[in-house]
Amino acid sequence: MTTAPDELLLPVPDEDGAPFWEYAAQGELRVQACTACGRLRFPPRPCCPHCQSFDSEWRPVSGRGRIWSYVLPHPPLLPAYAAQAPYNVILVELADAPHIRLAGNLVSSADAPLDSVDPARLRIGARVQVVFTETGGMAVPRWILEKP
């Protein structure tokens, strides 16, 4: 992780994960898939943990999921995060691949601050949809509550 100009931490893409961030910059949520056995995997890695194949591709997923878990970080926090507390960090179980869980924040809209959702609204199992926001030159996935 690096620190953005606004002091929020940013991911540092590695060779295996770089395509994830390239697709995110295009507003697409994709996960790595083994072309030998077809299994989706995350985090990205060079070898399939199921069949040991080195052949893979990046497949689009719907961007829908459910909150699997969440936490409300407590101080001490980095200054940029402390200014937005209380905020949430959620773990989202993808609808297309329930064994894959992505971390992020539940926000009221793509560009809303981290504290834009009242912590009392967080519920395990709540349906969410991915959105992307530009932060420090990167498109970062965040989550919004799915409309009923």
Checking if the pLDDT of 144 tops 60, the result is: yes
The closest of 1, 2, 6 to 80, measured between CA atoms, is 6
User: How far is residue 141's CA from residue 37's CA, in Å, rounded to a whole number?
Assistant: 27
pLDDT band at residue 6 using 50, 70 and 90 as cut-offs:
low
Q: Which of 92, 91, 144, 84 is nearest to 114 (CA)?
A: 84
Q: Is the pLDDT of residue 4 over 70?
A: no
Burial class (CB in 10 A: 0-12, 13-18, 19+), 126: middle
Which of the two residues, 7 and 62, has the higher pLDDT score? 62
Indicate the SS3 state at residue 54.
coil
pLDDT in tens, 24-75: 999 999 999 999 999 999 999 999 999 999 999 999 999 999 999 999 998 8
Give Cα separations from 35 to 30, 43, 104 (angstroms): 14, 16, 28
pLDDT of residue 3: 41
Q: Mean pLDDT of all residues in the chain?
A: 93
Rounded to an integer, the average pLDDT of 13-24 is: 97
pLDDT band at 142 (very low <50, low <70, confident <90, very high): very high
Q: Which two tokens stand for residue 69?
A: 């878990």
5 pLDDT higher than 80: no
Q: What is the pLDDT of residue 32?
A: 98
Give me the residues paired with residue 71 across strands.
Answer: 89
Q: Identify the residue with better confidence: 102 or 75.
A: 102
